């Protein structure tokens, strides 16, 4: 016989992506009661421009709860609709929009947010990516009590996660979703029991995680190999890193540092396991690439197909 949970606090869940969906599914298995979900409007995708549902809407339909998709949360009709759910807590995970004060004031207790960093470090849009790009040794997840200012709320709980020097941002994000989901459920249980504390963030330790842009992915071969390698791992899968080869965009998908010298951007060696590009300090062995209007291939296949040779230049 499956365990029958007594559904306790009433939760409205705000989210948009797969990270949020992991938390939502874990929350559904807990003792809390999801009474509604809020996500973005359906978007058109693919060649056929068909409307695609967010993972949050898909799950809301699966568990048969209302799913709101407001264009703006400042609409008074939306605010009144949210009030109608009589929620104890609003849970926000990767929703992508700030909640106005009129919405923050609705739940009986307060709004909580799951954030992918150890706040006050990396407030903002892309904390997972920047932890990898900057070569951090530790990261983690924070559950905060939301305020109007972005990611500035008091810390309710945190869980530290160690980082290794091979992890990519997509893998870290998936691992962090699992950790965040567990921490969220535990924290909500503590909130319900009144067994929690709120710790203000140290304003002197605040850093920000800027939004990812395509321009960030253009490789500057004059930089050290270790720095470029972290960029490749940190921008995976989007926006990705790229360079130019004979005027075409060449996406660099997989690399590893190696010891070689040469003019930055110059191919200085080739082998079956890839071609070596000199950097400002040391070099990178490129192992997988994707040339525009083509498909992703191993670096060896690229060497053979495009007659790559020592001395060729990437810019």
Query: How high is the pLDDT of residue 127?
Result: 98
Query: How high is the pLDDT of residue 43?
Result: 81
Query: How high is the pLDDT of residue 222?
Result: 98
Query: Which residue shows structure tokens 């009709």?
Result: 77
Query: How high is the pLDDT of residue 2?
Result: 44
- The conformational region for residue 46 under phi > 0 = left, psi -120 to 50 = alpha, else beta, is left
Return per-residue pLDDT of the chain as tens, 315 residues.
344 445 689 999 999 999 999 999 999 999 999 999 999 998 877 666 677 789 999 999 999 999 999 999 999 999 999 999 999 999 999 999 999 999 999 999 999 999 999 999 999 999 999 999 999 999 999 999 999 999 999 999 999 999 999 999 999 999 999 999 999 999 999 999 999 999 999 999 999 999 999 999 999 999 999 999 999 999 999 999 999 999 999 999 999 999 999 999 999 999 999 999 999 999 999 999 999 999 999 999 999 999 999 999 999
User: Tens digit of pLDDT for each residue in 67-104?
Assistant: 999 999 999 999 999 999 999 999 999 999 999 999 99
Q: Is 280 exposed, middle or buried (0-12, 13-18, 19+ CB in 10 A)?
A: middle
Query: How high is the pLDDT of residue 1?
Result: 38
Domains, the chain: 10-209 (3.40.50.170), 214-306 (3.10.25.10)
Query: How high is the pLDDT of residue 51?
Result: 76
Cα separation, 54 vs 45, whole angstroms: 12
Q: By C-alpha distance, which of 36, 88, 27, 39 is closest to 64?
A: 36
């Amino acid at each position: 016989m499956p365990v029958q949970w007594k559904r306790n606090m009433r939760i409205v869940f705000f989210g948009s992506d797969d990270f949020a969906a992991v938390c939502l599914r874990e929350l559904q298995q807990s003792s809390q009661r999801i009474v509604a979900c809020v996500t973005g409007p359906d978007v058109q995708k693919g060649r056929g421009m068909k409307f695609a549902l967010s993972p949050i809407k898909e799950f809301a339909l699966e568990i048969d709860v209302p799913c709101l998709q407001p264009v703006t949360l400042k609409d008074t009709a939306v605010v009144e609709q949210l009030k109608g759910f009589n929620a104890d807590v609003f849970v926000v995970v990767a929703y992508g929009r700030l909640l106005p004060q009129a919405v923050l004031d609705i739940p009986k207790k307060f709004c909580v947010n799951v954030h992918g960093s150890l706040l006050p470090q990396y407030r903002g849009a892309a904390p997972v990516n920047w932890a990898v790009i900057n070569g951090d040794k530790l990261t983690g997840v924070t559950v905060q009590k939301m305020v109007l200012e972005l990611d500035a709320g008091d810390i309710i709980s945190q869980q530290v996660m160690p980082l290794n020097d091979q992890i990519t941002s997509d893998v870290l994000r998936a691992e962090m979703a699992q950790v965040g989901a567990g921490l969220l459920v535990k924290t909500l249980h503590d909130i319900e029991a009144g067994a929690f504390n709120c710790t203000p963030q140290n304003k002197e330790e605040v850093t920000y995680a800027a939004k990812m842009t395509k321009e960030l992915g253009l490789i500057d071969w004059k930089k050290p190999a270790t720095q470029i390698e972290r960029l490749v791992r940190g921008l995976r899968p989007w926006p990705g890193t790229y360079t130019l080869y004979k005027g075409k965009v060449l996406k660099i998908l997989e690399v590893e540092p190696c010891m070689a010298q040469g003019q930055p951007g110059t191919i200085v060696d080739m082998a079956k396991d890839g071609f070596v590009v000199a950097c400002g300090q040391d070099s990178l062995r490129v192992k997988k690439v994707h040339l525009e209007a083509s498909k992703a291939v191993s670096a060896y296949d690229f060497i053979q197909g495009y007659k790559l040779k020592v001395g060729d230049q990437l810019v």
